[in-house]
């Protein structure tokens, strides 16, 4: 005998296909994977359900949430700068500048080591000076090449949150 589904299960069944379609449409403009957008919106929905209950118009709420998440990702990408890229013009042999670059690299590598799961190995491989291909990294880590992109996005998100929290606390 089947028990009655919870309202959240009904909402997930209703919104799943719409969320997948919306995420697939928004992802190319953000540089994020559709799965990452979906995951972020599911988390927002769970937080919403816990805090205020289900939205009055779930499809409308979902469309707004996916667009807000896409805007957040685009804003974050615009603010980010590469920590390993050095300006071509400025004094490359300036001792103070070299010390600062080395300190930034140490801080980045230290933060990467504190990440959960496979993230430290993956990001370390991606930052390797030998510049390995995705095929090389997948072989080295023992994971499929197709999962590297989504895994990289998740790991960079974890790193972004870790560093943001440290900057805010510092």
Predicted confidence (pLDDT) per residue in 2-26, tens digit: 455 576 778 888 899 999 999 999 9
Predicted confidence (pLDDT) per residue in 122-152, tens digit: 999 988 888 888 899 999 999 888 888 889 9
Mean pLDDT, the chain, whole residue set? 84
Task: Give start-end residues of each CATH 1.10.10.10 domain in the chain.
Answer: 95-169
Which class does domain 95-169 fall in? mainly alpha
* CA–CA distance, 11 with 6 (Å, rounded to integer): 9
pTM: 0.46
- In contact, 105 and 84? CB cutoff 8 Å: yes
Predicted confidence (pLDDT) per residue in 49-87, tens digit: 889 988 999 999 999 999 999 998 888 877 765 555 555
Q: Helix 58-79 crosses helix 7-30 at what angle (to 10 degrees)?
A: 40
């Amino acid at each position: 005998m089947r028990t009655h589904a919870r309202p959240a299960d009904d909402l997930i069944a209703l919104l799943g296909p719409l969320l997948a379609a919306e995420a697939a449409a928004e992802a190319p403009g953000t540089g994020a994977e559709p799965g990452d957008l979906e995951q972020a919106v599911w988390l927002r929905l769970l937080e919403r359900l816990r805090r205020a209950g289900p939205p009055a118009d779930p499809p409308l709420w979902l469309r707004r949430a996916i667009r807000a998440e896409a805007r957040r990702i685009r804003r974050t990408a615009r603010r980010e700068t590469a920590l390993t890229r050095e300006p071509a013009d400025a004094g490359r042999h300036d001792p103070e500048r070299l010390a600062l670059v080395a300190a930034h690299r140490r801080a980045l590598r230290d933060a990467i080591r504190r990440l959960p799961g496979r993230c430290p190995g993956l990001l370390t491989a991606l930052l390797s000076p030998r510049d390995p291909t995705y095929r090389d990294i997948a072989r080295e880590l023992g994971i499929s090449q197709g999962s590297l992109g989504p895994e990289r996005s998740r790991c960079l998100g974890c790193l972004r949150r870790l560093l943001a929290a440290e900057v805010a606390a510092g």
